[in-house]
Structures are given as structure tokens and as C-alpha cells.
Amino acid sequence: MNLVFCGTPRAALPSLEALHALGHRIALVVTPPDKPEGRHGTPHPPPLKERALALGLPVFQTADINLPEAVEQIRRVAADLLVVVAFGQKLKKPVREIARRGAINLHFSLLPRWRGAAPVARALMAGDEVTGVTIFRIVGRMDAGPLLASSPCLVLFEDTTSSLEERLAKVGASLLGSTVASIGAGHAVEKPQDDTRVTLAPKVTKEEAAIDWAQPALSLHRRIRALVPWPVAQTYGLTASSDRPVRVLVHAARLVRREEASPEWPPLPVPGMVLSVLDDAIVVACRDAPIALTRLQPESRKVMDARAFANGHHLAPGDGFGPPDWLLRMRRLAADLEAIGADVGVFDLKRLAAAAQRFESEDGWEAIERMFSGPAVPGSTPPWISTASPSPHLREIARVRPEIAAIVAALTPEEARNPHLIDDAAAARLASATGQSPDFVRRAAGVWLESYHRWEKEGARWLLGGALDA
């Protein structure tokens, strides 16, 4: 048959080669213009153009196949069939009707599942165990035309978008050869798609690259694989030896094996916290289980294995990854505590902030600041409520909330643990000792108790240096 072939990336090459090897006449190859790349903007041709020229095929490049000059170029070759594989441009009706037998598309999913620009990545993100390729006739609606042929393909647990797309391209090339032959012989059978089973596969965006460590480990593992080769999952790392968070691309990861678990890991680690550094991986906590990062790329550096990254950045358990603004706020608060003699790491604070989030609408950072602005150690005034604190931030807290500090300092240990013990007599005693009204005393004591319970016993004991057990 006399064919016009439209495509762009490497995934289109097996189909072009298969049709050429089967003896079809490729009258024209249509592909986008060369794209500037690199620091100097050097024009780089699409992979399909390079392969077509190597096969001695005529190439026409256009940013819009629907332009009059593009339509005329295609019309001149009098094609029997227009074949589209990973082209990235929508074909309007005049283009679809140029060829005598219309236009067909090889799509990398089992339609009607994953209609759209990123079917392979979306299948991986969703955890599909089986995907495939489909050949359909192109109509006005996106990927909605009648089906001509399909072939399934298993998704391997370690597949990335790159590896899965490469296998699908080969499966699709074989299927395309037989389908084109059926169309040429007049034997092709078309079947309408079931619109009740449609799922969409929108284009992957750069914004989706940001890693959310609060996601389950399995979901995060799927996303990291789906974002290879572009845009690649990214996060920010902060270590004890770094002054600022460093942007890191995560190229590969795996789930943690049972034998790699350590009794030294905290029972409720904060998502994003480094739990251990293995020979081949950096183990990081997620919402429900850890994940092992195996290939990483620091900003403006080459991809490296996990051990090289850990050594180069002096990464150790207790360091970790997360949004840069969060990491910096945690670092500043840790510095405030260090100034008053507390030995605390950034992720210890993040762990406490997570414990403070008893309600979905509550921000853990705000809970930390409430902890500093309200309660004090029973029987004494803690250093972070002292106006003599070396931290300007903590001095300001003491200045604006001295009345609560005085009331809480007057509580007995039993009253500090249980608000119901503050009866009328206790309230009168505290009011007399502090010069406040009984009602204000009850409310101030409530602030202390609410804060204590929100932080939970473990966090409160740590932050208050064991004073609650005295």
C-alpha cells in the first residue's frame, strides 16, 4: 500500500521499520520541526526524522499538519492510508479524509482505557497489571474511533514508562503490519468503543514530579517509575551538613525487603525521614511503609547510585527529604531550640508536628507554635517561655503570653495531667496566686491540657525534657 506515516519519538520507529520491511511504499514521513536543545539551543531532529532519512524516505516537517501547505504535501502523494504513531498533533477532518482508506492510529493502551496523551505513564501510576496496544480509526473525538485490532502486554513490577513503552512499540509494530494488510485486503472489521469504560490519560506535567512522602510506599513507587524518563520525580533533601535544601531527582526506587527492616527505626517515622543507608539504597519513610531510593541525581549533577549520593552529601539516618519551605522552617525552629540547650534534629520536630495533626484541617507547624506560646512545665517556667531566651522568636512568645506561663507554672503535676481536677477550689487557688479570674485560669489550664494531648505523651515528654514524669 501507498502510506503516509506520521510520528515523532523513538516509540514510532519500530512501526515505521516494520511497514518498510513488509514492502509498503512509505510515500511521505510527517514529523514536527527540529527542536532547539541544550545550552546553545542547537536544533535537534525528531528521532523519526533521523530514521526515515536513514531508510531513504522523504520527510516533511510541520508544527501543524492541518495547515494548508501540509495538507497539500500529503495530497500530492495520493496515499492509500494515513498511519499515525505517537505523533502528538490532532488531525482535523480534511487531513483524515485525504487518504483513500482514511487514517488509523496505533495507541499504547487497551482502549477505551487511557484515552489521551500519556497512556503508559497513567497505567503505571494506576498500578495496572496488564496494558497493551490498540489500532483504531481516527475520528473527531480524541482516541474515540472504532477499534481495528488490539494486543495485551503484561506490566512488569520494575517497568518504567521508558521500558514499558519500548515493549509496547514492538508489540504495536507487529500488530500494525497485520492490520494494514487486512485493511489493504478489505478484511478489516471495525468495532465501536464502549464509552462507559473510558478512562482518561492527560499529559504528565512538571508539577506532578513533586514527591509527596505522605503517600503510601506502593503508590510512590509507581509514580517514580511512571515519571521516567520525563519529568522525573523530584524532592528536596536537607542534611546536618547542608545550609539549604538541595533539589534531588529520583530516577529509580524499589520497595524495602522484609530482611532490610531494622529494630532501630522509630515506630512512627515521619514521611520523608531517612531511616537507613544501605549499600545499594537510601531507605526513606512513607505514610505506611519505607521505600528504597536507588538512583538519584542532585541538582546540576549526573545520575548516581544511592551510596555515592549518601557519601557525597553526608546523608545519615535522621536526615531526610521534603518540601523546601517545610525543611527550612524546621531548621530554623531546631536552631531556636539548640540555642536554649535542647538537642533536637529537624526531623524530630517534623515528627512532633505530625503527631499534632489530630484533625485534617490543622497545620502541624501552627501546632508547634501553639505549643511554645501556651504551655509551660508544671512547677517552673521553662526556658522557652523566659524573656531571657537567646532566641528573638522565643523572647517574643514569652512577652505576649506571660499570663498563661504563670498559671501553668502554678499547676500541680496531677492538675497538669487532668483538667477535670481543676474544680472551683483549685481555680480559686490558682486565681489568687496569679491575679487572674477563675474563668481565665480554667481556660489557660485547658490550653495546657489540650496541647499536651495533641502532642501525645511521647512528644510532650520529649519536648519538655521529662518534666511531666517528675
pLDDT, average across residues 143-149? 98
Q: Which three cell numbers stand for residue 66?
A: 492541518
Q: Tell me which of 348 and 432 has the higher pLDDT.
A: 432
Nearest alpha-carbon partner for 32 in 5, 58, 65: 65
Contacting residues for 151 by C-beta, under 8 A, at least 6 apart: 132, 133, 171, 172, 174, 175
The answer to whether residues 2 and 80 touch, using CB atoms and an 8 Å cutoff, is yes
Length of the chain: 470
Q: Tell me which of 67 and 393 has the higher pLDDT.
A: 67
Q: 340 pLDDT exceeds 80?
A: no
Q: Fold for domain 206-322? A: Methionyl-tRNA Fmet Formyltransferase; Chain A, domain 2 (3.10.25)
Question: In whole angstroms, what is the distance from residue 43 CA to residue 34 CA?
Answer: 5
> SS3 for 397?
helix
Q: 429 pLDDT exceeds 80?
A: yes
Q: 397 pLDDT exceeds 80?
A: no
Instruction: Give pLDDT, residue 328.
Output: 75
Nearest alpha-carbon partner for 115 in 194, 179, 14, 47: 194
pTM of the model: 0.75
Instruction: Give pLDDT, residue 236.
Output: 94
Percent of the chain with pLDDT over 90: 57
Yes or no: is domain 2-197 CATH 3.40.190.10?
no
Residue with cell 503517600: 215
Q: Which helix (H) or strand (E) holds 277?
A: strand 274-277
User: Got the DSSP string for 77-132?
Assistant: TT-SEEEEES--SPPPHHHHTTSTT-EEEEESS-TTTTBSS-HHHHHHHHT-SEEE
Contacting residues for 26 by C-beta, under 8 A, at least 6 apart: 3, 4, 5, 16, 19, 20, 52, 55, 57
Q: 54 pLDDT exceeds 80?
A: yes
Residue 154: other Cβ atoms inside 10 A:
12
Matching fold, domains 2-197 and 206-322:
no
> SS3 for 72?
helix
pLDDT, average across residues 129-145? 97
Instruction: Give pLDDT, residue 468.
Output: 27
pLDDT, average across residues 378-391? 38
Q: 121 pLDDT exceeds 60?
A: yes
User: How confident is the model over 171-230, as pLDDT tens digits?
Assistant: 999 999 999 999 999 999 999 999 999 999 999 999 999 999 989 999 999 999 999 999
Nearest alpha-carbon partner for 80 in 12, 175, 6, 180: 180
Residue with cell 531550640: 337
What is the chain's mean pLDDT, rounded?
A: 81
Q: Tell me which of 42 and 65 has the higher pLDDT.
A: 65
pLDDT, average across residues 14-22? 98
Using CA atoms, how far residue 109 sits from 118, 156, 158, in Å, is 10, 15, 18
Question: In whole angstroms, what is the distance from residue 406 CA to residue 397 CA?
Answer: 13
Q: Which three cell numbers stand for residue 37?
A: 536543545
The domain ranges of the chain are: 2-197, 206-322, 335-469
Q: Tell me which of 349 and 284 has the higher pLDDT.
A: 284
Question: In whole angstroms, what is the distance from residue 392 CA to residue 340 CA?
Answer: 12
User: How confident is the model over 288-323, as pLDDT tens digits?
Assistant: 889 999 999 999 899 999 999 999 998 988 788 988
pLDDT, average across residues 63-86? 97
User: How confident is the model over 220-275, as pLDDT tens digits?
Assistant: 999 999 999 999 999 999 876 677 889 999 999 999 988 888 888 876 677 888 89
Phi, then psi, of 5 in degrees rounded to 5: -110, 125
CA 416 from centroid of its chain's CA atoms? 43
Segment among 41-55, 329-343, 371-385, 405-419 with least mean pLDDT: 371-385
The answer to whether residues 295 and 244 touch, using CB atoms and an 8 Å cutoff, is no
